[in-house]
Amino acid sequence: MATVTYDHASRFYPGTERPAVDQLNLHIEDGEFLVLVGPSGCGKSTSLRMLAGLEDVNSGSIYIGDRDVTDVQPKDRDIAMVFQNYALYPHMSVADNMGFALKIAGTPKQDIRKRVEEAAAILDLTEYLDRKPKALSGGQRQRVAMGRAIVRQPQVFLMDEPLSNLDAKLRVQTRTQIASLQRRLGVTTVYVTHDQTEALTMGDRIAVLKDGLLQQVGTPREMYDTPQNVFVAGFIGSPAMNLASFQVDDGYAHVGEARIALDRSSIAKLTDEDKGQITLGFRPEALEVVSQADSGAFPVEVDLVEELGSDAFVYGRLVGPKAVDAHVTSGAGNDQLIVRVDPRNVPAKGQRIYVKIRPGNEHIFSSATGQRL
C-alpha cells in the first residue's frame, strides 16, 4: 500500500489554450478511497491517466509513496486500472482473463491459480471461472475486470467510471460491492466518476474539479454542509441546491417582499464588487412550507410535483416583486426552484405555496467571486 501525491501536476494538450489539468495539488492517504468528480471535460480522467502513466505530466510531479513516478513507465508503477470498458479477452476464460497479467510477468502457474481463486471467492465469481466473457452479464464482466486488478496486488487501484455501462439497479448494487471490497482490501484507490451520488456514497473523501482546477477536497459531509463556492454547492447534492441572487439591505436579503436574516460576519465580507448583492444557496430539504403571514416566507408557483413514494419534490418558480432579478438556478435549470415537501400532502400544479428557509440552513456566497462567505 502507498500514499499518492500530486505536486503542482499539469497536463497541456497541444493546440489548446488552457491546461486540461492545472497545477493539481492533492495528497491521498494510504488505504484511502478518494473520488475525483466533476462534469465532462473537467480533467478528472486526465488526472487519473497521469497517475497511471498514460498521459504525460508537462509540469509538476506525481509520487506513489516516496517514489517520484512522473517519468516512470506505466508497467513499473505498481498500479492496476479498471476502465469503463471491461476490456476482457473474448477468447479467454474468466480465470485466464484474471490471471493474464501474472502470466505475462512469469508468475508460477500454481501461484496464479491461487490468487485467481482467492479473488474469485471475494467477488462471487468462483462458479464462472471456466466461462467466456460472452456468457456473463455486464455486472459479472465488471467484477472480472475488478478481479484482474485484485490478483496483481498493486499499491494503488485506479478506476475510471467503471459503472457507466451498467443499468441503474446494477450500478447501485455494484458500487456498494466496490466500496466494501476496497475497505476489506485496504488498497489506496482513486476513483473517477461524473455521478455525484456515486461520489457521496463511496468516497472517504471527494475532490471536485472544474475546467482542470481543483475546487474543493473534503469528506462527503463537508462537501454537502460547507461547499466552498457556488460551483461545488450546485454540483454536490441530489436534487441540487437552489441558488439565487438577492439584494442585501440592513443585514437582510430581500426576496421580493420577504426578508431573510443573514449572518453578520458574512455580510461584513462583502466588497464593492458585490454591488450590495449576495448569492444565497438553500437545499430543497432546507425549505419548509409555511403560511403567507410567516416571517421570511416567499411565494413559489408550482409547475410540477415529483412523487417518489418516501419523498416528494415541488419544481416551481419564484413569483412576486423582483422575482426575475433573483436569477434562480437549481438542478432543474434556470428560473426553477426545488422544494422538498411532505409526500402525503403535495400541492397541485399551478398552486401557489409559501416557503421559508429553516434558520441556519442557508449558504451565503459572494455574488462577484462565487466564494463562500
Domain ranges of the chain: 4-229, 234-366
* Distance in angstroms (rounded) separating the CA atoms of residues 185 and 178: 10
CB 178 within 8 A of CB 190: no
CA-CA-CA-CA torsion sign (249, 251, 253, 259): negative
> Cβ(253)–Cβ(280) under 8 Å?
yes
Label each residue of 45-85 as H, E or C. Answer: HHHHHHHHCCCCCCEEEEEECCEECCCCCHHHCCEEEECCC
- Give domain 234-366's CATH superfamily: Nucleic acid-binding proteins (2.40.50.140)
Q: Mean pLDDT of successive 10-residue segments in the chain (373 residues)?
A: 92 91 96 94 94 94 95 92 86 93 89 91 89 89 89 91 82 86 91 91 95 95 94 90 87 78 82 87 92 85 91 89 75 85 91 90 90 90
Going by the DSSP 8-state scheme, the letter that residue 274 receives in this structure is G
pLDDT of residue 251: 81
Residue 301 falls in which region: left (phi positive, over 0), alpha (psi -120 to 50) or beta: beta
How far is 178 from 162, CA to CA, in rounded Å?
Answer: 10
Q: Which residue has the cell 456498494?
A: 176
**What is the rounded distance in angstroms from the CA atom of residue 243 to the CA atom of residue 237?**
13
pLDDT score recorded for residue 137? 86
pTM reported for the whole predicted model: 0.89
Burial of 45 (0-12, 13-18, 19+ CB in 10 A): buried
CA distances from 309 to 219, 303, 313 (A): 29, 19, 11
pLDDT of residue 324: 67
CATH (residue range 4-229): 3.40.50.300
